Amino acid sequence: MKVWTLDAALQRCQWPRHFREILSQTILTGLISDPYAASRLINFSTRSALVPFDYSLRIFNHLHNPNPFTWNTIMRAHFELQNNPHQAITLYKLFLAKHAKPDNYTYPIPLQCCAARVSDFEGRELHAHVVRFGFHQDVYVRNTLINLYAICGRMSSARQVFEESPVWDLVSWNTVLAGYVQAGNVKEAERVYRGMPERNTIASNSMIVLFGRKGCVEKARRIFDEVRWRDMDMVSWSAMVSCYEQNEMCEEALVLFVEMKASGVTVDEIVVVSVVSACSRILNAEMGRLVHGLAAKVGVEDYVSLKNALIHLYSSCGEIVDAQRIFDDGGVSWTNGIGFPGKEQGWLLGLVLGFLLVQEGLDKRVVFLESDEAKVGSLPNPRSRWKEETESTFETICPAGGFDSVKVCTVSSLPVIEANQDLQPADPEVMTFYQLSRTPIDRLCTLKKPVPASSF
pLDDT band at 126; cut points 50, 70, 90: very high
Supply the pLDDT for residue 330: 67
Q: How many C-beta neighbours within 10 Å does residue 15 have?
A: 9
User: Residue 12, CB half-sphere, CA atoms under 13 Å: how many?
Assistant: 8
From the list 39, 126, 55, the residue with the least C-alpha distance to 85 is: 126
For residues 339 and 397, give the distance between their C-alpha atoms in angstroms, rounded to a whole number: 21
Supply the pLDDT for residue 1: 60
The torsion angle over the Cα atoms of residues 313, 314, 315 and 316, rounded to 10 degrees, is 50
φ, ψ for residue 443, nearest 5 deg: -85, 75
- State pLDDT tens for residues 67-121: 899 999 999 999 998 999 999 999 999 999 988 889 999 999 999 999 999 999 9
- State pLDDT tens for residues 284-321: 999 999 999 999 999 998 899 999 999 999 988 988 88
pTM above 0.75, yes or no: no
Confidence check: pLDDT of 434 > 70: no
The CA distances from residue 333 to 60, 274, 455, in Å, are 43, 17, 36
3-state SS class at 270: helix
